[in-house]
Amino acid sequence: MCNLTGWCLASADVPTDQPPPADPETVTRETIDPAATALVGSSARLTLEDRRAAGRAARGVRARRTFAEWTPAPDRPDPVALIEAQNADRLQQLVPERHRRMLASPFAFYRGGAAIMAADLGPLPSTGLVVQLCGDAHLANFGMFGSPERSLVFDLNDFDETHLGPFEWDVVRLAVSAALLGRDHGWSPELQEGLVRSAVASYRTAVAEFADRSNLDVWYSMLRVEELEQMAPTEKDRSRLERSVAKARANDLQRAVAKFTEVVDGRRRFRDDPPLLHRVESFYPDGDGERIAESVRRFLLDYVTSVPHDVQVLMVRYHVLDEAVKVVGVGSVGTRCYVVLGQGRDEDDLMILQVKQAVASVLAPWWESPAFSSEGQRVVQGQRIMQAATDPFLGWANIGDHDYYLRQFRDMKWSMDLVSLRPARAQRYLDLCGRTLARAHARSGDAVAIAAYLGESSRFDDALVECCRRYADQVELDYRAFAEAASSGRIEVAPGPTA
């Protein structure tokens, strides 16, 4: 048996004369999107016109103009209470840091408040045009990263809230984030409207394009960095993109090792660098550090049964050197997140993996979804469906009573610097996000029906402009309530970083 210094299954655990474990991506009638059951499980095939008719019929359930009529429900939950409820099962010593990050701006508050929007959208009539949702498709959850072939691609990159649901929930979340970006910058209402239109119109026209493609063309479609370069309109834009690409390529494993680890007494380990990185033994008091470290190592033994056999073959070549607690994101702060340092053939052959807690999606109370063995499996399978090029190391397992998933850490990842954006570049970026979201939805949903619902006119775009204005006003009110809760001591806020 493999001892707890390794994250592998030893050769005795994966005998070569036995077949590999079942592929976790196996599709059954119980796990597929219910909206697709008729197509997969029946000899009858819907025609393209049937699917277009279904999309147009959805307007009778949720007319496009009604998006402009959004108002807060009379019994709308207290937004601060929703945030507090999420904190109950988090690491309490990190909750004040979550509050600090959310207080940075209304947009930062919006990033951390996915549960608030879910509670606002969930009870409303929906189109019923179901896709695999990102669940938190705001503009900061897009970016570049390395594909398994080591090329750079642009795609969605956060799937903690992924869930089945009507396509419009993701579109509204992206569009409102566009409006809030403009407000954070102090841009005019006209510019804010332009950002919303860039995201929504791009989504609408891209869905129509994907509706005209074969299923395989949609499935293989991805946005590589070479295509981004062709889309850059000026030499200045191309130069800026080249710098972003260079930053992404430099944000690799070697840089992460240099930044987050050190050699002490001849042994490489993670640095103790609070509040972002904590060595396990220093974060957990009273000797719990070793128990947690052992639990993480046991997780790795279970995790490998969730990945394909070829990944197992690679993983048996590494053993664990160290573990640490990593603070990530805005809304995720306080959920349990560990990084694991592994070594292969020698001290220069290193790997860092992230083990992140998966909790129930904020959309779960509002839309039924197939049952999963764990929330980690939900995240992994949702990501595999939506992303054109997915981390081959994605897998899941449990640590005690908590669900987790595993992914690579700092694998040539790049996110847009939203602070330095100028209006023209912001519009192009949102156009890119809208198109990317459309492609992700087309992989699981019926692009033909969605395109028919949206239509060729700007009616849906116009409605979203007004919806986003109203909802952004509400976000600012919620943000002020959150700030007042901090001022009154209702919620605890961590001190800001020292210079």
Same domain, 243 and 330: no
Q: Are residues 260 and 397 in the same domain?
A: yes
Instruction: Give me the amino acid identity at 22.
Output: A
Q: Are 141 and 155 in contact (CB under 8 A)?
A: no
**Domain-located, residue 31:** no
Looking at 162-171, 322-331, 464-473, which range is the least confident one? 322-331
> Considering its fold, how many domains does the chain have in total?
2
Identify whether residues 268 and 327 lie together within a single domain. yes
On whether both 167 and 282 belong to a single domain, the answer is: no
Cis omega (within 30 of 0) for bond into 275: yes
- Same domain (yes/no): 201, 278: no
| Stated pTM of the model | 0.88
Q: Do residues 151 and 265 both lie within one domain?
A: no
**Distance separating alpha carbons of residues 394 and 378, to the nearest angstrom:** 12
> Mind listing the pLDDT tens digit for each residue in 318-352?
999 999 999 887 888 888 999 999 999 999 999 99
pLDDT at 331: 80
Clarify whether residues 160 and 303 are in a common domain. Answer: no
The pLDDT > 70 percentage for the chain reads 89
Inside any domain, residue 25: no
Most confident listed range (159-173, 324-338, 391-405): 159-173
Residue 495 domain flag: no
Q: Are 436 and 223 in contact (CB under 8 A)?
A: yes
pLDDT at 444 over 50: yes
- Residues 269, 334, single domain; the answer is yes
Whether 400 and 433 map to the same domain: the answer is: no
Tell whether 332 and 203 lie within a shared domain: no
| Burial classification of residue 84, based on how many CB atoms lie within 10 Å of its CB (0-12 exposed, 13-18 middle, 19 or more buried) | middle
152 has pLDDT over 90: no
- Asked if residue 160 belongs to a domain, the reply is yes
Q: What is the pLDDT of residues 10-24, one digit of tens each?
A: 333 333 333 343 443
- For residue 480, the enclosing domain spans 51-249+423-488
